[in-house]
Chains A and B, each alone.
Chain A
C-alpha cells in the first residue's frame, strides 16, 4: 500500500489554512505570514536553482525591487493592493531583463555576477533618494485593502499570503511538468546536449530568470504591506543568500522543500530569539547539520520517515486484521 503523493500536500495545506483559527497570537501570525512570503521567494529560487541549476544570487534584488515598487505606488499614488503586487512583480520581471547578457555565464561566474547585481541594486536603493527615500527608508505604506475591505488584520493578511503562495506553488508545479520545465532540467544536466536537442539556452534561461524575478517581485510587494516600512538594509545581498539557503535546506529541486525550507529559515531565528548571544551560533550549526541531509533535504528525510511509519502502520493493520481473515 502506497501513500497517494498529493495527500501530504493536502494535509499540509489544511494545516496552514487552519493556523489562524488556532493561533491568535499576533506575533506568531506575523512571523508565519513572513514565512509564507519567504516561501514564495523560495519557490522562485527553486525554479532557478533546483530545476534549471542556475545559482542566482539576484533574487534578493528582485524582492527589493518588487517591495519598493509596490510600496511606493501604494504610499504615494494610492494604487490598490492587488495592482501594486502585480506592478511589483512586473517591475522585477522587467528588471530581470538586465540580466539577459549574463545568463550565459555558468556556475560560480553566474553566482558572482548576480551577486554583483544584488549589490548594485542595493546601492541604488540606498543612494537614489528621489526614488526610494534613500537611507531613511520608505514609510507610511497604507494598510492593504481588497475590494474596499481591509485585509490588514494579522489573520486575514496571513490568508491572503497563503492564497498567493498556493497560486505560485501550483504555477511552479505545472511549469516543472511542462515542456519548459523539461528544457530547464535538460539545461541543468547538460547544456551542450540541451543545445544539441534544439533548446535555446539564453532564451530559456532568460525566461526562467523572468518568471523567478516576477515571483520574487510579488513576494516583495507582499512584504511591503507586511512590514509597512521599507529600509535599504532589508535588501542587501544577504537576502539573496538566505533565499538560496531556503531552497536547499528543504530539499533541492522539491517545491514542498522550498516551502518547508522557508519556514525553517524564517522560524528558526525567531524560536531562538530568546537564546540571546547564542542565537546565531545555534542557527549556523543547525544550517550545517541540515546540510548533512544531502539532496533529500528536510522534506526528503521526513517523507522517508513517513514512509517507514506508514509501512509500519499498514503492516500493523495487516497484522491486526489477520485474525478476522482467519474467521
Chain B
C-alpha cells in the first residue's frame, strides 16, 4: 500500500503488571522517532508509530500483532517485552511475513525456531548466563556450589536452565533450586532453605520488584552469601526499592550507565533521555532505543516500503548502538558483549573492574 507515512507498529505491556517496562519502551521509541522525524524522516516520509497494548499476555500480543499488520498495515513491528508475548507474536510475524524486532524477550527459543522474520535487540539468556558464568569463574574461582532462586516463569526458568548448562563446563554444583511465583511477596521460606544449603553463592533470576524484596528479606534473615542476579534487576528502580539491602549484588545486563561510559552512542542516549523524561534510562529503554534505530536503518537501507526488502536489510544492519558495535548473527540475535554491574553503596559500578578473589 502506498501510505504517506512510514508506519511502524510498537507493542508491549502498556497496562498490567509489566506496564513499567512498556513505558520505558514507549519513551525510548518516542525519543528516537521524534528526532528522526525532525530530521526529515525516512524515505522522504514521516515515521508514524502505532502503539498497541498487549498487557504482557501472549494471547493479547497475538491480537496486537495481527491488528498492527492487517488493520494498521505497518511495515514492521517492534515488541514485545516478555518472552511469551514476543514468541506468540513472532508466530504471527512469520505467518504474515512481517519483520519483527523483539525488545526484551530473552528466551532462546524466540530465535531458534527457524523464523527468519524475527530479530531481537537483547542477547538471549543463554549468552547472558554463559557470560556471567565465565565472569564468576574468572573473578571468583573458589565458588563451586550455588543456590539458584528464580521466578517461575519463562524468564526465570530460562535463566536457570541456561545456568545449569553453562555451569557444567566448570563443574558447578547446584545445591539448592528454589522458585517462586510472579507477584509473590514473601521469600523467607526459600531463603531459609538456601541459608541451610551450604552454597558458596546465590544466583537469582528475578525482576527488580521481587528482586528488591528478596534482597531485603535476605538481609533480614541474616544471609551474607555473595549474590549474582539477572538482567531483570538492571534498572535504577532496583536500588530505589531495595535500599542498602541491594549493596553488593552483582548483576548481568545488556546495558548500564555504569558500564557504557566509553560508548559514545550510549552517552548521547542517556543525556537525551534524561533531558526528555528526567530519569536515567533502564536497560529496556536502551534495548527499545536500539531496536527502533535498527528499524530505521534497515528501512533506509532497503530504500522502499517493502517488508521482504526491509527484512533482508535488517539482517545486514551494522551500527554503533547504545551497547556497542551492533550486528545480528544468522539467527537474528545481536553479537554484543554483556555487562556485569556491581552495586556499591547504592551506585552501579562496572564489576569487570573488580579484582580477582581466591
Residues of A within 8 A of B (CB): 25-28, 30-31, 34, 123, 126-127, 134-137, 139, 227-229, 231-234, 270, 273-274, 276-277, 279-280
- C-alpha gap A231/B58 in the complex (Å): 7
Pairs A-B, 3 closest by C-beta atoms? A26-B70, A27-B66, A27-B70
Contact B84 A231 (CB under 8 A): yes
Contact B87 A139 (CB under 8 A): yes
Contacts of A126 in B (CB 8 A): 152-153, 181
Contact B69 A26 (CB under 8 A): yes
What's the least CB distance linking B341 to chain A, in Å? Answer: 26
User: Which of B53, B62, B157, B158 sits near A279, CB closer than 8 Å?
Assistant: B53
What's the least CB distance linking A81 to chain B, in Å? Answer: 18
Report whether over half of chain A's contact residues are helix, strand or loop; otherwise say mixed. Answer: helix
Contacts of A228 in B (CB 8 A): 91
Contact B152 A135 (CB under 8 A): yes
What's the least CB distance linking B117 to chain A, in Å? Answer: 15
Q: List 16 A-B contacts (CB under 8 A).
A: A27-B66, A27-B70, A28-B70, A30-B63, A31-B63, A31-B67, A134-B157, A135-B157, A136-B158, A139-B87, A233-B84, A234-B57, A234-B59, A273-B53, A276-B53, A277-B15
Contact B62 A26 (CB under 8 A): no
Contact A135 B154 (CB under 8 A): yes
Contact B88 A229 (CB under 8 A): yes
B347 at the interface (CB under 8 A from A): no
Contacts of A229 in B (CB 8 A): 58, 62, 84, 87-88, 91
Contact B66 A30 (CB under 8 A): yes
Query: Could you say which interface size class chain B belongs to?
Result: 20 to 34
- C-alpha gap A123/B157 in the complex (Å): 15
* Chain B contacts with A in 50-84, Cβ cutoff 8 A: 50-53, 56-59, 62-64, 66-67, 69-71, 84
Which residue from chain A places its CB closest to the CB of B157 in the assembled complex?
Answer: A135
Contacts of A34 in B (CB 8 A): 63
- C-alpha gap A136/B83 in the complex (Å): 9
Which residue from chain A places its CB closest to the CB of B58 in the assembled complex?
Answer: A231
B14 at the interface (CB under 8 A from A): yes
- C-alpha gap A270/B67 in the complex (Å): 9
Apart from the given pairs A27-B69, A227-B58, 16 other A-B contacts in the complex at a CB distance below 8 Å: A25-B71, A28-B71, A31-B67, A135-B152, A136-B107, A139-B87, A227-B59, A228-B91, A270-B63, A273-B64, A273-B67, A276-B14, A276-B51, A277-B15, A279-B53, A280-B15
User: Which of B15, B58, B69 sits near A233, CB closer than 8 Å?
Assistant: B58
Contacts of B152 in A (CB 8 A): 126-127, 135
- C-alpha gap A207/B275 in the complex (Å): 64
B109 at the interface (CB under 8 A from A): yes
Contact B14 A277 (CB under 8 A): yes
Contacts of B91 in A (CB 8 A): 228-229
Mark B248-269 against chain A: 1 for CB-CB distance below 8 A, else 0.
0000000000000000000000
- C-alpha gap A134/B83 in the complex (Å): 14
- C-alpha gap A205/B63 in the complex (Å): 36
Contacts of A30 in B (CB 8 A): 62-63, 66
- C-alpha gap A135/B88 in the complex (Å): 13
Contacts of A231 in B (CB 8 A): 57-59, 84, 88, 154
B219 at the interface (CB under 8 A from A): no
Contact A136 B58 (CB under 8 A): no
Which residue from chain A places its CB closest to the CB of B50 in the assembled complex?
Answer: A274
- C-alpha gap A136/B109 in the complex (Å): 9
Contacts of A273 in B (CB 8 A): 52-53, 63-64, 67
- C-alpha gap A34/B64 in the complex (Å): 13
Which residue from chain A places its CB closest to the CB of B65 in the assembled complex?
Answer: A27
B96 at the interface (CB under 8 A from A): yes
What's the least CB distance linking A18 to chain B, in Å? Answer: 19
Which residue from chain B places its CB closest to the CB of A236 in the assembled complex?
Answer: B57
Which residue from chain B places its CB closest to the CB of A136 in the assembled complex?
Answer: B154
Which residue from chain A places its CB closest to the CB of B51 in the assembled complex?
Answer: A276
- C-alpha gap A319/B249 in the complex (Å): 84
- C-alpha gap A324/B313 in the complex (Å): 75
Task: Take A134-B157, A137-B84, A277-B14 as given contacts and tell me if A234 and B58 are in contact as well, using a CB distance cutoff of 8 Å.
Answer: yes
